[in-house]
Amino acid sequence: MPDVTKTAPAVEETAATPSAPDTATAAKQDKARSLWGDAWADLRRNPYFLVSSVLIVLLLLISAWPTLFTSASPTTGDLVKHYVGKPELGNIGSEGWLGYDIQGRSVYARLIHGTRASIAVGILVTLFVTVVGGIMGMLAGYFGGITDAILSRITDIFFGIPFLLGAMVVLQAFTERTTMVVVFALAFLGWTQITRVMRGAVITVKQADYVHAAKALGAGTVRILFRHILPNAVAPVIVVATIALGGYISAEATLSYLGLGFAAPTVSWGVDISAGVAAIRTSPHILLWPSIMLSLTVLAFIMLGEAVRNALDPKLR
């Protein structure tokens, strides 16, 4: 029999080898962004955040260096210019382009220099209530039990006192109402909301697996609180604090308007609004301009808080 050998035809496979992408670029694309990274990427596309940030940066610049915007004195007046209210629109930025008050002082100069008092009170009160309320809420939410019961009842007691009424009572105890006195009066009752928000966030976060893993590995309480729980529970607190900052500025103006906050010779929007009420029919510009400035400031911080809330809340994204 003839030897029959079947030779299988060689199949030449030409598999195209894909070009390997750059390792650094691939790693960068594949790397999952954190909550803060996602939030920042969302904020940069949010027009509310951009507008409010520009306004807030401008306000901070004005409060820090008011002489960059006016060289006029907010406390020195000329009685010859008593209640002169015709705007000098042809000379915007000059001393009297917004008119003068009852003592002949430049409304524009007082508007610029009054920014410092309002912004300082808002920022300092927010920092104080965030730290105090955040710590109390974190302790109550993490330890629970008797600690949570005691801290929660203390919070409820302070929360039941009307905010402005309590601030008025505190301010009545001081004869000299400096910036720190006003800050203390507003912060005395302002920490309760932050405490409740932080407590709820900590109760949710402490149930996470990474917290139980940290406990199993022997991590201390302080490390767990500030390394694992606080960074993951602080987002709602930041939102509430940002929105509340505008409310504290408005509260300071309200107290100054009622004669319980800042008083002359301190330059404040609330003081000028209070002085402008007496001449609202004849010289409304004295009341109008500080009211507009106050409204824009409060609106800027509320817009910023809303933008941050939308960026940090995955459900809203």
CA–CA dist 7, 4 (Å, integer): 9
Please list the residues that pair with 100 across neighbouring strands.
106
Please list the residues that pair with 106 across neighbouring strands.
100
Cβ of 113: how many Cβ atoms within 10 Å?
A: 23
Instruction: Name the pLDDT band for 131 (thresholds 50, 70, 90).
Output: very high
CA–CA dist 144, 150 (Å, integer): 10
Q: How far is CA 75 from the centre of its chain?
A: 30
Judged against a pLDDT cut of 80, whether residue 67 lies above it is answered with yes
- Asked whether residue 192 is domain-assigned, the answer is yes
pTM: 0.81
- The residue with tokens 């996470």 is 208
- Asked whether residue 303 is domain-assigned, the answer is yes
Q: Kindly state the tokens that stand for 149.
A: 């019961």
Which pLDDT score is estimated for 287? 84
Number of H-type helices and E-type strands within the chain: 14, 0
Structural domain for 266, as ranges = 115-312
Q: What CATH code is carried by the domain that includes residue 308?
A: 1.10.3720.10
Judged against a pLDDT cut of 60, whether residue 23 lies above it is answered with no
Q: How far is CA 315 from the centre of its chain?
A: 22
CA–CA dist 284, 111 (Å, integer): 15
CA–CA dist 99, 105 (Å, integer): 8
Which pLDDT score is estimated for 144? 87
Do residues 268 and 75 touch, judged by C-beta distance below 8 A? Answer: no
- Asked whether residue 105 is domain-assigned, the answer is no
Q: What is the pLDDT of residues 165-192, one digit of tens each?
A: 999 999 988 888 888 999 999 999 899 9
- The residue with tokens 């901070």 is 60
Give how many domains the chain has, as a whole number. Answer: 1
SS3 (DSSP) at 72: coil
CA–CA dist 179, 123 (Å, integer): 12
- Asked whether residue 32 is domain-assigned, the answer is no
More confident residue, 5 or 312: 312
Residue 249's nearest CA partner among 263, 277, 268, 264 is 268
CA–CA dist 107, 259 (Å, integer): 20
Do residues 290 and 272 touch, judged by C-beta distance below 8 A? Answer: yes
Do residues 260 and 254 touch, judged by C-beta distance below 8 A? Answer: no
Q: What is the pLDDT of residues 151-163, one digit of tens each?
A: 999 999 998 889 9
- Asked whether residue 172 is domain-assigned, the answer is yes
Cβ of 29: how many Cβ atoms within 10 Å?
A: 9
- Asked whether residue 209 is domain-assigned, the answer is yes
- Asked whether residue 79 is domain-assigned, the answer is no
Tell me the CA distances in angstroms from 249 to 50, 128, 175, 268, one per residue in order. 21, 14, 22, 11
